[in-house]
Chain A
Amino acid sequence: EDQVTQSPEALRLQEGESSSLNCSYTVSGLRGLFWYRQDPGKGPEFLFTLYSAGEEKEKERLKATLTKKESFLHITAPKPEDSATYLCAVQAGSGGYNKLIFGAGTRLAVHP
């Protein structure tokens, strides 16, 4: 069964304390992996797309990496404004349509 699991469920960091969020997946025929940021009461905001193992993407303090079984979102020297829920989604090429499967997210809180 296609599945996306994000860990940890919640993470509390001090400002400047770097860390990583994990997205592990088991899907047949990965076609792409997406990272989104979601602020409370708002819709997800697109961050990155990764297509193949070894690929990396960066945006400000965020860096996403991809292996054959998981993706990491590295946060370097986070600031309080990085507090949000980070969602991972994978596109699988099986079934009657190309499913986009979302993980449940990691809630990140960065404290001053």
Chain B
Amino acid sequence: NAGVTQTPKFQVLKTGQSMTLQCAQDMNHNSMYWYRQDPGMGLRLIYYSASEGTTDKGEVPNGYNVSRLNKREFSLRLESAAPSQTSVYFCASSSRGLGDYEQYFGPGTRLTVT
């Protein structure tokens, strides 16, 4: 099993450009999450999807949108990138609800917005 996969691994955007980060899991998990990780700060939840067909805002949702395409895939979209969105983005999945069970993380996407 590949676990949680993310594409791309690296991306450089100019301010105002848009892009979509892709995430897929092959563990048949119901819940999926998007986090950002910034130096000196803990991982912060952007959006999550408790089950297929549902999405909810996390701690820092502004400037992002998500789509739970099916049970396997959960994408994160930046409509108009800003330098403040420079970060490392992690996708994660768990068998059940937020925090109730351990989450498994992908390798991350390192995004730079200039």
Contact = CB atoms under 8 A, between A and B. Distances in A.
Contact of B102 (A43, A49, A87, A103): A49
Contacts of A92: 99
B99 A100 contact: yes
B46 interface: no
A46 B103 contact: yes
B43 to A, nearest CB: 4
Interface string B30-48: 0000000000111111001
A44 B93 CA distance: 12
B102 A34 contact: yes
A41 B92 CA distance: 16
Interface string A16-53: 00000000000000011010100001111110010000
Given A42-B108, A43-B107, A87 B43 contact: yes
B104 interface: yes
Contact of A91 (B4, B41, B99, B106): B99
Contacts of A44: 43, 90, 105
A102 B44 contact: yes
A32 B107 CA distance: 24
Contacts of A108: none
A42 B100 CA distance: 23
A100 B103 contact: yes
A110 B99 CA distance: 30
Given A34-B102, A99-B45, 5 more contacts: A32-B100, A36-B105, A43-B90, A45-B105, A49-B101
Interface of A: 4, 31-32, 34, 36, 41-46, 49, 87, 89, 91-92, 97-105
Interface of B: 4, 40-45, 48, 56, 58-59, 90, 92, 97-108
Closest 7 CB pairs of A and B: A91-B99, A102-B42, A43-B105, A102-B43, A100-B99, A46-B102, A44-B105
8 contacts: A34-B102, A41-B107, A43-B106, A46-B102, A91-B100, A100-B98, A101-B42, A105-B42
